[in-house]
Structure 1
């Protein structure tokens, strides 16, 4: 037996690999199976070049356990290693034979880039093993079997082996603390299925094949049945429903990748409570080895309802293959996936409108998030997918092109109203004037709508305008003489009401919006809406107290009576004035002084009772 020392910095690197690089111990099996798969890939290629090399009839990867002696063995029929290759590949940390092999063959069209680019995966075995024994026989005919042993210290030993078939056998002597978790048939099978299910070579335990025969995403889409897609969807999502849409992508060009994406029929409630720590259900594979459960950098948060897999050997990861490196290739793949998803949804909206409406009602609020975080091309598609109810749609959903097309002659904007209460939004007093003039208003009741309208102030060069901000121009052409007279009389109340309610409102003005209600509260142009303030306060945001504008309806009996009494010099009218503000506050969904309101209402009722 010969004793050799690792390179001078090897102990430090080995310690880093064992204790710092990987966040989950179970990935040791993923790394060793990945190496075994790479070795079989190499053997297949070299056999095509030279038929005289050592061969085997049915290449595979075999995993076996010895629970009594606490060992796990992984054996492959791959390329194997000579004595020199063992010293080079296992005696030099971060020296990857796979990488060197891949570089030599970078012009061979039949060989993809192989996974072990960092050369540290093998050493993850020391996370769970107190000793690792490797016996290997190269497929080169003149090579002899060699045994490599190490306890993860400063040295390793070499001795003659007895292996007769080509390939590599790795035996891990598991630490006592880890034996219960990993010297367990069921646990090992679950880890294989979790990380390595789609390795193309058979992974066998006790004569049972554990992994799938071929990754679905590598097959020709025309050869895959809908049932196969649905079965795969249920398998990776643990969802019993069938998907709404399936998207099979084969990317070529600067970056090559394969992907299968699924849009569900119903979204999971967890998607509504993601915050900054959202995790997209998109699994990343490299050469059929799963390396990430949540490839967050490949899909934006606003497509978090999409599930699926992406397989690409071009994407760069950190050393532990647990984090994506944000490279131009990642961005390019992300743009392509987004484009495919949006295009699929546009097709669904055109070809199966009822199914799309069901999707929008369930997941539209998530999709709308993309309108403040998208490219111009994506924004155009998102606006095409946008649906909403309006004051003219009788509860049905309309598209933005329809709303734009149906504007009145001379109408330069698209009107909208936001309110979290979808049951009352259509009956808000603030809409009365718009309904009278038959101006269509979009009714938006998702919390995200406020942010969408804040960031996207126009559609196809037509500005969005809130009915709850600013003033509505007078409808002078259709105003009767009586209405003009009422307006003039109501204007005489403005200064008095403004002084009386100075601590509550920023301004009092005669309304052009109201037809039935006596009063309404609106926001100043450019100010936060009451709806936005409510959303921000619900998220514990400190906001300055802002006063809103009180508009009064000049034709309402209460306002007309108040104007007449005030003109006649009557006093003790403050109660009426405050009730106008109370009414507007109630209609706005926020009564700040319910006790005061009750007292004022009681006083008014008593006065009315004495006059009966």
Structure 2
């Protein structure tokens, strides 16, 4: 028997392991099973090159629990170890402290990953004692037992062991009893070891007999040793890719497409990525791509390996070239990772372009599901934008799809404004904005459907990319001003009529929360709506974006400002104007005459002041000017109140405003009920 101390200069290696090297206790099982796989793979290699000539036999790795002894055991039939190898791999961990160790291995973590050594020590995170019983594959090797109770002291003895390989027996401590439960161990094996290349058995398969589950004679193999990504694309059919997807995500809807990655230069990378069906309310679940290293599960936090927008994908990436830290749990930033990230971006873009070119019909059918993903990529990744320009689609309100180039050619003749800017009209709600869409179509314009969650951001991004172009929401202004041209329409209402009608319409403006309404008049066609409600494009877009993201609360907290646009050429508006003149003729005539006289006198007094210093103006003139101004203000206020009160009682004014609100989906509840009753009365 040999006794000794593990080669560490710190008083106790194990607190460092528990607190520093391994952040997550559950990965101990991954490390122990991975070491067993490495030992088995090494034996297979030795056999293939003729260095081991014995029978390989059953190479299944077996994981077992003994609840009475409180042990968890991992057994393999791999290369095993001699006492010298135990001394080399287990006893000689020579480092003066954790910091020095990390410094030593930070640029070459792979040098120790896979070695039967450091990963083995993770077993002490959950164990009060660990035994290693092993026998080397070498001829005339004897069995060896190593044991340690978590202090630097160990014992090494020769024992009888019939078969080559290694048993790691972990005596689970009281704080980690969960690892003596079958369900917990199976859960960990399925998480970390589901695709390891050597079969792993955990107990026996069960079947129902006489209303209870009983063990069968068949091993419960928990892993698929040849997952789809390890096979050549030529050997897989569509149903194989779908079957593997269901293996990864049993509850998910079928994916849209997949990409099979298979690179061996300048780095090794395999994997299968899937485009999932994303719901409109973007599910930013950045834990759906699983990262493996030689089929060992590492993490599902892959932000460091793939660009932000690709974290929306599902699937598997496997690369031994992605550097990992000691616990294989966290990615380290280095140039290799950046190369891999760029390559994956290129492969995704190439695959989308290939589908678009080879089967545009299928691409268009799936566009509504792909759209949010592609827009996200174009907004956040410059190189992806450059590639995606060829296949990103715009959908119009008639459900037709166009590339950026195709759409530009369709609208350039009719939708270029007087300043040579190309105007892209769009709707965010086809039903709510139907009236505006129809008005635009009647002018020969085309309207895009931009109702996705990222569309307000995407529109801003496109405006920064497309030369001499801007996007205008179809309800952002009256149709004549959406795309300003040189021609001008005559306005039938005089300036005086417009001044009088403003307070009339103000009398019926809706009172709703923080919303403000500004009454304006526009020269429009007689066939256009009599009253429209529009909203400033910039402010509305800023408020839309503020709803989606933080840091823009300034815009989100501002009131909604709307324009109540009155068609100055519509017969109904002309009728309201005529009725107003007739109904208020007596009062208005006298007021207007007095206002006109006072306006004239004020102008004379203002002219008399011109070029004079204040002290040169006679006091009488000053007093008269002050008196005239006050009387004018009083008369105008009185006139405005008269017109405002007239408007409040005018059912036609209220009806036209409610129609405008209704066409904007802004008339609801009690107001809608009153509108219906009034409509019946008016009919």
With the shorter chain as reference, the TM-score category is: 0.7 to 0.9
Within a 5 Å distance, the mapping from 1:300-315 to structure 2 comes to 300=307, 302-304=309-311, 306-315=313-322
1:456 to 2:462 alignment: yes
Note the C-alpha offset of 1:235: 1.1
Distance 1:223 1:5 in 2: 53
2:408 is matched with which residue: 373, 382, 404? 404
Say whether 1:250 aligns with 2:326.
Answer: no
The two structures, once aligned, show a CA RMSD in angstroms of 4.2
Give the aligned partner of residue 443 of structure 1.
449
SS in structure 2 of the partner of residue 528 of structure 1: helix
Structure 2: gaps of 5 or more residues:
96-103, 105-109, 204-217, 510-514, 589-641
Cα deviation digits, residues 247-272 of structure 1 (max 9, x gap): 211123232110112234x44x5x83
Higher-Rg structure is 2
Q: Is the 8 A contact 1:136 1:169 kept in 2?
A: yes
- Report the more deviating stretch, 327-336 or 528-537: 528-537
**SS of corresponding position for 2:405:** helix
1:149 aligns with 2:147: yes
Q: Which residue of 1 aligns with 2:391?
A: 384
Task: Summarize the Cα distance change of 1:154–1:182 in structure 2 as closer, same or farther, 3 Å threshold.
Answer: same
Q: Note if contact 1:474-1:512 (Cα within 8 Å) is conserved in structure 2.
A: no
3-state SS in 2 of match to 1:406: helix
1:41 matched to 2:41:
yes
* Aligned partner of 2:199 among 196, 202, 206: 202
Structure-2 separation of matches of 1:227 and 1:181: 37
Q: Retained in 2: the 8 A contact 1:94–1:118?
A: no
CA distance in 2, matches of 1:20, 1:384: 48
**SS of equivalent to 1:447:** coil
Q: Give the TM-score taking structure 2 as reference length.
A: 0.72
For the residue of structure 2 that corresponds to 1:213, the secondary structure is coil
- Distance in 2, matches of 1:84 and 1:187, equals 35
Q: Any conservation in 2 of the 1:416–1:444 contact (CA below 8 Å)?
A: no
Change (3 A) 1:601 1:42: closer
The residue aligned with 2:63 is 63
Q: Any idea what SS the aligned residue of 1:445 has?
A: coil
- Describe the SS at the equivalent of 2:494: helix
Is 2:429 the counterpart of 1:424? no
SS at match of 1:484: coil
- Between 566-575 and 226-235, report the one with greater CA deviation: 566-575
- How do residues 259-338 of structure 1 correspond to structure 2 at under 5 angstroms? 259-264=271-276, 266-267=277-278, 272=281, 274=283, 278-300=285-307, 302-304=309-311, 306-338=313-345
> In the alignment, what sits opposite 2:114?
116
- Please state whether the residue corresponding to 1:439 is helix, strand or coil: coil
Query: The residue matched to 2:188 in structure 1 has which SS?
Result: helix
Partner of 2:29: 29
Q: Does the C-alpha gap of structure 1 residues 556 and 242 become closer, same or farther in structure 2, counting only changes over 3 Å? A: same
CA 1:524 to 1:507, structure 2 compared with 1: closer, same or farther past 3 Å?
A: farther
**Alpha-carbon spacing, 1:456–1:92, altered in 2? closer, same or farther (3 Å):** farther
Q: For the Cα contact (< 8 Å) 1:283–1:308, is it kept in 2?
A: yes
Distance 1:342 1:190, change over 3 A: same
Displacement after TM superposition at 1:313 (Å): 0.8
What CA distance in whole angstroms lies between the structure 1 residues aligned with 2:82 and 2:163? 13
The SS at the match of 1:409 is: coil
Rounded to whole Å, the distance in 2 between the matches of 1:194 and 1:599 is 61
Is 1:552 aligned with 2:566?
yes
Alignment of 1:94-243 (within 5 A): 115-116=113-114, 120-141=118-139, 144-176=142-174, 178-179=176-177, 181-184=179-182, 187-205=184-202, 208=219, 209-239=221-251, 243=255
Q: Please list the CA deviations of residues 364-384 of structure 1 after superposition, one character each: whole Å capped at 9, or x if unmatched.
A: 334433332122443541662
The aligned counterpart of 2:494 is 489
Shift in CA distance, 472/223, structure 1 to aligned 2, threshold 3 Å: closer
Decide whether aligned partners of structure 1 residues 307 and 529 sit closer, same or farther in structure 2, where only a CA change above 3 A counts. Answer: closer
- Check conservation: 1:282, 1:296, Cα contact below 8 A: no
Cα deviation, residue 515, structure 1: 4.7
CA contact (8 A) 1:131 1:149 kept: yes
Report the count of equivalent residues.
Answer: 576
> Which residue matches 1:18?
18
Unpaired runs of at least 5, structure 1: 96-102, 104-111
Q: Is the CA contact (8 Å cut-off) linking 1:79 and 1:167 kept in structure 2?
A: yes
- Is contact 1:71–1:171 with CA below 8 Å preserved after alignment? yes
TM-score (norm 1): 0.79
Other structure's SS at 1:384 match: coil
Q: 1:413 aligns with which of 400, 422, 438?
A: 422
Alpha-carbon distance in structure 2 between the residues aligned to 1:490 and 1:94? 94
